[in-house]
Amino acid sequence: MTDVDALYSANPKDDPTAVPIYEVEDMAKLQADTSSSGTQWGTGGMATKLTAGRIATAAGTTMAIINAAHVDYVPRVIAGEPNLGTKFYPIKNVARGRKRWILSVPVRGAVWMDAGAVKAVKDRRKSLFCPGITKVSGSFQTSDCVSLCDTSGAEFARGLVNFGSSDLSKLVKQRIWEKSRRTLDAAALGYHAMEEVLHRDNI
């Protein structure tokens, strides 16, 4: 329950062309405004609600954003009546345990990947290695949560990274990993490093 009618494509207070989004089937493809700040009813703003949405849908639960001024909407939404708020549908492959927790961790940056790496991670559930990375953005440390993005920059997953942004950017730009045949040692970064940039158990 919040103080807005639904999730919008942009902030309706600033953009007259903003339209409500009534159904979200894939949060990774969501294009919506999250810039509004919290109020007494919408504590934390829309970004916080979307984080809750990711956790709920990853757990196999349907979630809805409904205006608190219309408590009567609750049973109607449960009954399936449309356009009374924004409904988030559960993902097909339910996340459990640690992977569900990762969705609640603040994102500190993003890792862009080539098509081959996207297929390996997304479809084959493989770990991510440096040769598949094309771009690093944000400022993060080892074990921080980062977004995994496809060639267009669209987020399709999140995970805990094994390198800080500074070292990872160095690896990508200088292709150190290729030179060392995917095994990094002190000669590459000044310390012995893990093979995977993100292990599949942390994605």
Flag whether pLDDT at 158 surpasses 50.
Answer: yes
Encode pLDDT of 28-62 as tens digits: 777 655 554 443 333 346 777 887 888 888 888 89
The answer to whether residues 98 and 58 touch, using CB atoms and an 8 Å cutoff, is: no
Flag whether pLDDT at 113 surpasses 90.
Answer: yes
Model pLDDT, residue 43 = 37
The answer to whether residues 142 and 160 touch, using CB atoms and an 8 Å cutoff, is: no
Whole-number Å distance between alpha carbons of 189 and 170? 9
Mean pLDDT confidence for 123-133: 92
The answer to whether residues 145 and 139 touch, using CB atoms and an 8 Å cutoff, is: no
> What token pair was written down for 90?
């559960």
Mean pLDDT confidence for 20-29: 86
Mean pLDDT confidence for 14-39: 73
Q: How many CA atoms lie within 13 A of 75 on its CB side?
A: 1
Whole-number Å distance between alpha carbons of 6 and 18? 11
Model pLDDT, residue 39 = 39
Look at 38-47, 122-131, 164-173 and tell me which has the smallest mean pLDDT. 38-47
Encode pLDDT of 131-141 as tens digits: 899 999 999 99
Give the DSSP letter of residue 2: B
Query: Whole-number mean pLDDT of the chain?
Result: 83
- Tell me if residue 112 falls in helix, strand or coil: strand
Model pLDDT, residue 186 = 45
The answer to whether residues 135 and 143 touch, using CB atoms and an 8 Å cutoff, is: no
Model pLDDT, residue 31 = 62
- Backbone dihedral region for residue 143 (phi beyond 0: left; psi -120 to 50: alpha; all else: beta): left
Closest by CA to 13, choosing from 31, 33, 30, 39, is 33
pLDDT band at 203 (very low <50, low <70, confident <90, very high): very high
Higher pLDDT, 100 or 88: 88
Model pLDDT, residue 59 = 81
Report the chain's terminal Cα–Cα distance, integer Å. Answer: 30
Count of residues in the chain: 203
Model pLDDT, residue 191 = 67
Whole-number Å distance between alpha carbons of 178 and 62? 44
The answer to whether residues 90 and 115 touch, using CB atoms and an 8 Å cutoff, is: no
Q: What is the pTM of this model?
A: 0.64
Model pLDDT, residue 40 = 34
Mean pLDDT confidence for 168-180: 72
Whole-number Å distance between alpha carbons of 136 and 113? 9
Flag whether pLDDT at 185 surpasses 60.
Answer: no
